[in-house]
Structure 1
Amino acid sequence: MGSLSIWHWLIVLLVVVMIFGTKKLRNMGSDLGGAVKGFKDGMKDGSAPETPAAPNPQVSSNNSADKSTIDVEARQKS
């Protein structure tokens, strides 16, 4: 009573098809495929490192302003 032969698997497959029907099995397969695809997309989006947005430099019409000072706005992470 070790491993199952091909005949055991074919009988199990036949019983499953008889119970659920081919249309319901096809719908379950497409739903499962969509769920796996959504999970992979979610994992890909979550693992990508976020690149910080470049701050917009503020242009001043005053030429006498100190060139070494950078005026930026701090952002909070949410």
Structure 2
Amino acid sequence: MCFSAGASFAGGAIISAVGVAAQTKVVKPSQRFFAVIPFFFGFQQVAEGVLWVTLGSAKYPVLQDAATYIFLATALV
């Protein structure tokens, strides 16, 4: 979301809820791949929220590094 940690966490929750709804609407097994896509975007938003929280502090460098790699990996896919 690029606004704040709260916006990223809220966006991640909403997008993940869309993923849950998409999973419940799947009729054919071949549709599961497409129905899981919102989970990846939701996961990316949660990772961005973690980055917002950890970037201003040097207390959690391992968490910050993990969130950075997760965010970049999902953003570049």
TM-score (norm 2): 0.33
TM-score (norm 1): 0.32
Report which structure shows greater RCO (CA 8 Å, sep ≥6). 2
Structure (1 or 2) with the greater helix fraction: 2
- Higher-Rg member (1/2): 1
